[in-house]
A and B are shown apart, each in its own frame.
Chain A
Amino acid sequence: MAIERILKDDASEEKGERARMASFVGAMAIADLVKTTLGPKGMDKILQSTGRGQTVTVTNDGATILKSLHIDNPAAKVLVDISKVQDDEVGDGTTSVVVLAGELLREAEKLVASKIHPMTIIAGFRMAAECAREALLKKVVDNKANEEKFKTDLMKIAKTTLSSKILSQDKEHFAKLAVDAVLRLKGSTNLESIQIIKKPGGSLKDSFLDEGFILDKKIGIGQPKRIENANILVANTAMDTDKVKIYGARVRVDSMAKVADIEAAEKQKMREKVDKILAHGINCFVNRQLIYNFPEELFANAGVLAIEHADFDGIERLALVTGGEIASTFDNPESVKLGHCKLIEEIMIGEDKLIKFSGVEMGQACTVVLRGASHHVLDEAERSLHDALCVLSQTVNDSRVLFGGGWPEMVMAKAVDELARTTPGKRSHAIEAFSRALVAIPTTIADNAGLDSAELVARLRAEHNKEDSNAGIDVISGSVGDMSELGISEAFKVKQAVLLSATEAAEMILRVDEIITCAPRRREDRM
């Protein structure tokens, strides 16, 4: 009697070695895919979407690349997920985490092939990861107390992050920009309050940070183009026709005259509303919703600058910078907090007119205007800047700093190697493998830069055998250099997240001995 099929027709099942192989291969393929983008000399990828327009993205941000891939292999999906989490959590290191997880699995595959049980490998990996973390913790530098030093730390981190991106040419400029922007947040990690405006034209060098706030809107016609000492009312209210909200109300009239009456009443209502708003003693009114011609005209008559249709983020930021509150009712002008700023004016960037609020009170938000040759450049620049901002804002909260350029990996590898030597049993093979996987990161950085990785990594290892070495790979000169002199730093939080989530993901994939794939849901065939 033949064994009957247990699963549905299209579902498949893979077991034991085959399953493990499928997941290893999938995970390593993903890691190899993003591997070449690692490091300051990493290359970019072009992504072409299959959707309408076939939009093209050029990037070397690991998370962005992986997000846009269509993947079928379940193990690969785990890697994509960790890179996404890394992006959400710390913002940078999205490539490293995938590469490290891939290397761990590559080493694990060899161990499995030499008949070591996956559970033993996992036990070894866990010990190694814990030991690596300890090693990093011992070496961290915390300059929180010294503001001057802390700022240089931030600058270094920003420069290191940016050096692998498209902005590397102007990293000095952008690093300063990012550090200034993040310091303005005063410890908050809410990056929403840093607005990035992209305007094609000019060169990347022309990008600047504006102390105040720039709103990508035009000033209504016939209204003042420049206001000094502005009192701003930030509002979210309907300025078209203010509907009666009571349910079931409707207008029913029996003569034309009455229609006219009601229209007049509606107009009167709007006029009253505008009067009430004006009673706040303002000279600038910013609304999230539409402003119709009629009220706009009323505002113009009163010499008030009225800006309509600011998006919700814009409103929130504006409220944040000017210190006003977002108002929706206008009956008690005395208790509404107005926003203030020294100067509102219309400025030109490229060919577009924007409204600039300068001399704001709170200064918790700011605007970065990016200029660049094309949309692709701008998009990539924005992603790079976003990475830098994320890392910096996390560093402000957790100010522990490490050197970069493969230094942390070598420190960890050294500690893990020592652990392997003192651990009895089969686990020591796994621990040793872990250290090999760690070394793969500086190797990849060197490879991507076209350097002799074997030579460099060997020299690096020798260098690290001395006490308190600061040696790392200096990609620019192609040799081993002192990271503290070169000013290459990375945030501890990023490295820790890379280490832990890569180990977790590798462990997860290793534990699998069977893959069951359900039949893909059928889509309706459209003719």
Chain B
Amino acid sequence: MALAFDEYGRPFIIIKEQEQKTRLRGLDAQKANISAGRSVARILRTSLGPKGMDKMLSSPDGDVTITNDGATILEQMDVDNQIAKLMVELSRSQDYEIGDGTTGVVVMAGSLLEQAEKLLERGIHPIRIAEGYELASRIAVEHLERIAHKFEFGENNIESLVQTCMTTLSSKIVNRCKRQLAEISVKAVLAVADLERKDVNLDLIKVDGKVGGKLEDTELIYGIVVDKDMSHPQMPKQIQDANIAILTCPFEPPKPKTKHKVDIDTVEKFEALRRQEHQYFDDMVQQCKDVGATLVICQWGFDDEANHLLMHRNLPAVRWVGGVELELIAIATGGRIVPRFQELTAEKLGKAGLVREKSFGTTKDRMLYIEHCANSRAVTVFIRGGNKMMIEETKRSIHDALCVARNLIRNNSIVYGGGSAEIACSIAVEAAADRYPGVEQYAIRAFADALDAIPMALAENSGLQPIETLSAVKSQQIKENNPHCGIDCNDVGTTDMREQNVFETLIGKQQQVLLATQVVKMILKIDDVISAAEF
């Protein structure tokens, strides 16, 4: 323990209540941290690749999640260890930045840590290892750039985008209809993409699901689906060419924000107030009617009286629509959100070709479809599936696919998947290592070894002999000078990933390498862990 003595031999107390705290220093601390990081990576290792397995997570409230999305697993895992938390952060940041490859990044970090441990045992200073890793990661990223391909796509030529999304989806449970879901994702992204600015606002894609039916019934709707129904049971269920008034004010008498009181002390005042109130409701409905609205979508509720008046005047209405949905509806229909009845004008109405109510199953579930909108820049992916967990997992998978499609629109460079990019980098890093004098050389070599972990895990999960397969593919890459050879996970018969159409995005891969290296460097630099005593 940290104990110092002054010149008279009395001990200083440096850390408060230090005898109650556990403290690890030096090599022990590093090894403990490394082993924590590795055990997180070990959990995710089996989820990698098209033959990866799922994890079942049971939350504190007993809800069950079944997934193989790395970020989701780690997020729900109830992690306590500080270093393990760093790994969780790592996969989360990959999720935020790229959206895909959340499992791969953790596995890579885990194997980098594993290699670092060996070097530490040989007495290499952690900072030198970290520096070596940094150099190596730069080489790897540059090499990725070199082996990357650009591919062309356009509004009508989406095949290559679909193929990339299919690679992402093939590791999920939904791979049964990956083609269909990949097409849906690509079409959804292209519908909202701004191809000139090369940007996609994923907020415009609403992913919604309802249990029942089968996965094949999942559809892309060029419009908005809202989980609401008409406010009055007798309002029409279908409206053609709707003019939609989007309101954020309730169909109720106003509540002025200034404090006020209306005192009623005579019969006349009572009567007057009654008439006024009546007038007020009438005016509200009339104002909507006057501007030519044929459908009212309101963020708030309305009174029975207002409801009936609307019904009476043949003005269908939807109430209690959430703020986010309201915004999406406004974007899709090209309308403006109107906060006051007085400000309602004909130009502010949204236009939709068809609004219809659709009911599901035997329960009274109804949803409102708003389709053929003036501006089809907001779309909905509507997922059906056999049970709740399936829907949730499909949502996550679609999210990943959407992210991949978006990344491709931002940057249309791709690398080949199936571990081929990692193997190519590993060869490049290995070759570069010899040029570096000094201790870093060892760290760089270790980095190359660590890169092999991903194809190794892929092969292992696919039931192949990991070492044999990896060495065969590696020698093939060097012999043929072809960086597209990868692990043949699906037993197709060729190791050339170009023929198998397995793509991944360049930025996704680069990000994986960079993020994993960063976290590992951070973990290596820790040499002292002080933790409070257990209570």
- Which residues of A approach B to under 8 Å, CB–CB? 1, 3-9, 11, 13, 19, 23, 72, 74-75, 77-78, 81-82, 85, 87-91, 117-119, 126, 189-192, 236-237, 244-254, 258, 261-262, 264-266, 269, 316, 319-320, 325-329, 331-332, 335-336, 390, 393-394, 500-501, 504-505, 507-509, 511-521
Contacts and interface: CB of A to CB of B under 8 A. Distances in A.
Given A117-B463, A246-B277, A6 B79 contact: yes
Given A82-B387, A501-B387, 8 more contacts: A3-B39, A4-B36, A247-B255, A258-B266, A326-B311, A335-B312, A508-B173, A513-B54
Interface in B385-409: 385-390
Nearest to A90: B362
Contacts of A254: 265
B362 A88 contact: yes
Contacts of A390: 362
B462 to A, nearest CB: 8
A118 B52 CA distance: 10
Given A3-B39, A237-B304, A262 B386 contact: no
Contacts of A78: 64, 66, 387, 389
Interface stretch (B95-103, B206-214, B220-228): B206-214
A395 to B, nearest CB: 12
Contacts of A252: 263-265
B255 A513 contact: no
B386 A85 contact: yes
A199 to B, nearest CB: 24
Most buried by B among A11, A500, A505, A513: A513
Nearest to B216: A500
B317 to A, nearest CB: 13
A416 B48 CA distance: 31
A507 B303 CA distance: 49
Contacts of A192: 364
A511 B58 contact: no
B299 interface: no
Interface residues of B, number: 85
Contacts of A189: 359, 361-362
A245 B46 CA distance: 63
B324 to A, nearest CB: 26
Contacts of B305: 237, 328-329
Nearest to B311: A325
Nearest to A327: B308
Contacts of B32: 1, 4
29 contacts: A1-B28, A1-B32, A7-B78, A74-B64, A78-B64, A81-B389, A82-B387, A119-B51, A237-B304, A244-B264, A244-B270, A244-B274, A251-B265, A251-B270, A252-B263, A261-B267, A319-B234, A325-B312, A326-B233, A327-B308, A328-B304, A500-B386, A514-B56, A515-B57, A516-B43, A517-B57, A518-B60, A518-B76, A521-B61
A189 B253 CA distance: 38
A513 B55 contact: yes
Given A328-B309, A514-B46, A75 B56 contact: yes
Contacts of A74: 56-58, 64
A390 B263 CA distance: 56
A363 to B, nearest CB: 16
Contacts of B255: 247
Interface in B243-282: 252-256, 260-267, 270-271, 273-274, 276-278, 280-281
B53 interface: yes
A10 to B, nearest CB: 9
A249 B233 contact: no
Contacts of B263: 250-252
B326 interface: no
B532 interface: no
A266 B233 CA distance: 32
Nearest to B176: A126
